[in-house]
Structure 1
Amino acid sequence: MSLVKYSKISDYKIKKVLRHFCVDVDATKTAYLLGINRNTINRLYKIFWEAIYRSRIETLQAILLTKEVEFDEAYFGSKRIRSKVGIHKGGQGTWKRPVFGVFERNGEVYTELIPDSSRKSLQQVILKRVSPDAVVYSDGWRGYDGLVDVGYSKHFRVNKSKHFSDGKGVHINGIESFWSFTKRRLSKFNGVKAHFDLHLKECEWRWKKSEEQMFKELVLLLKRE
C-alpha cells in the first residue's frame, strides 16, 4: 500500500522523510537535507505524531498490567510542586504539567496526563491500569499511601533520598530512565508546550526502539490510518 495519500510527493520521498523522523532529525533540517518545502515536512511530521498518538492511546486504554510494575510522576515545565497543576507565573512564561508513568519491567512504558499528584488522582489511574495482582514499586511520595488498602498487597517503596535500589530489585530505575530520556529529548525542542501530549506520546513510542523498528512500526501505523 502506498503512502502517497499523505502528500503530493512520491512514496520514495515520504519514506525518506520517515527515515529522518525516526532518527530524530527536526523538521527544519529534514526540509533542508531533502530539498522539500518546510510546510510539507511540518504537515507530514504532524501526521506521524498523530498516528503515533492514536496508537499509544488505544494501547493505554486496553492495558491492565499484571507483572512487575514501576510507577512515578514527572513534571514538565517550571518548578516542581507535586500537589499543584498547570502552574503559571504571571509574566514569567513558566509552565508545568504533571504526568503519570507506568513501566512494566521487560515491557513497555505508558504515560498519562493527570490533574495533580494527589492520592486520589494517583489511585484512580493506578486502579485503571495496574492489576492488584502485580508487584508494584514506587517512591515514598504520600500520594502512593494506601495502595495496600485498595488491594495492592505487593507494594514496595524506594526512599530515593537514601538510595535508588536496595539491591534486591526494589527500585524504580526503569521509569526514572524514561523520564530522563524524555526530558533530555524535549529540551532539544525548547519544551514543546504546543502539542505537548503528542510529543509525550512520541517519546513513549521511541523509548528503547531502534531506528529500523520505529520505521517499520510507523509505516504500518500509517497504512492502517
Structure 2
Amino acid sequence: MAKLIKWSKLSRHRLFKLIECFCLDIEASKAAVLLRLNRNTVNRHYTLFRRLISAHQLAQLRRFVGVVEADESYFGPARLRGRPGARKRGRGTFKQPVFGIYERQGRVYTEIVPNCSARSLHPILRGKVDPASVVLTDDWRGYDGLVDVGYDKHVRINKAKSFASGRVHINGIEAFWSFTKRRLAKFNGVKKLFPLHLKECEWRYNQSLPTLKASLFSIIKSHP
C-alpha cells in the first residue's frame, strides 16, 4: 500500500476514497467530480486497479470441479458503422466471442476466443475443468465430442424445447453474462481495456461492497 501511495501522489485519505468509488463502480468521470481530481488521474488509478485485479484472478485460478456450466456470449455493437443491414445478435455477427465457465455457487472464468468452434472451446475446458465434473452446456456444435475427450458427464440443454429441467440448466453463467453486459453498457463500449473489464466482472460478480473493498485492499497490499 505504501508503494501505491508513493506512486499515486495522492493523500492516503483521497486514495482510500478513490478505492471506495472504484468498488462502488462509480465511473471515472463522476469520481473525478466527487473527489475533485483530474479525470486522467482517476483513469490512471482505475486502470491500475483493473490490471491488479486481472492478475489476481489469473493467479487464483484453479481447476473447476463439481457442477460446471459452460457457455459462449458475444460483446460489441449489434451492427458495425458503415455496414448496412439488420441488427444481429450472437453467432454470425462481428461481435467479439467470449467463452465462460461457471462453477455452481462459486467462481467464474472468462476467456476471449477467436470463434466458438470445438477447436477453440475444447482446449479451454480440458485445461480448466476436472473431467470428473458434471459439465452443462447448450446444444451448440462447439461442444460436440466432449464425452470423447473424457467428460462423460456432459449434459446438454436444448433451448428450443426447454431452458431448464430441475438442476439441468446454465442459468448461472447466463446470469453472469447479463450482469456483465449491463455493467459494461454504461461505459459505452470498452475496446482497448475489454479484457481487463471482463476480469473485473469476474471479480465483482456476486460480491458485496465490503467484500470487494477488503479484496481490493488485499490485492493492492500483496502487489510487489
TM-score by length of 1: 0.90
* 1:36-115 equivalence runs, <5 A: 36-60=37-61, 63-79=62-78, 91-92=82-83, 95-115=94-114
Shift of residue 90, structure 1, vs aligned partner: 7.1
Q: Which residue of 2 aligns with 1:13?
A: 14
1:82-161 aligned within 5 A: 91-92=82-83, 95-161=94-160
Runs of 4+ in 1 over 3 A off after TM superposition: 88-95
Provide the secondary structure at the position in 2 that maps to 1:189: coil
1:174: which partner in 2?
Answer: 172
**Pairwise CA RMSD of aligned residues?**
1.7
**Separation of aligned partners in 1, 2:200 and 2:94:** 20
Q: Quote the Cα distance in structure 2 between the aligned partners of 1:5 and 1:99.
A: 37
SS in 1 for 2:130: coil
- Give the aligned residue type for 1:194: K
Q: Deviations over 1:172-199 (max 9, x none)?
A: 0000000000011111111111211011
Partners in 2 of 1:21 and 1:66 — Cα distance? Answer: 31
Sequence identity (%): 51
Cα deviation code 1:52-78 (max 9, x no counterpart) = 011112223xx2112110000111014
8 Å CA contact 1:6–1:44 kept in 2: the answer is no
Secondary structure at the aligned position of 1:111 is classed as: strand
| Partner in structure 1 of residue 192 of structure 2 | 194
2:71 counterpart SS class? strand
Structure-2 separation of matches of 1:130 and 1:186? 27
Q: What are structure 1's unaligned runs of at least 5 residues?
A: 80-87
- Aligned position for 2:218: 220
CA distance in 1, matches of 2:102, 2:35: 37
Give the unaligned 5+ runs of structure 2: 85-92
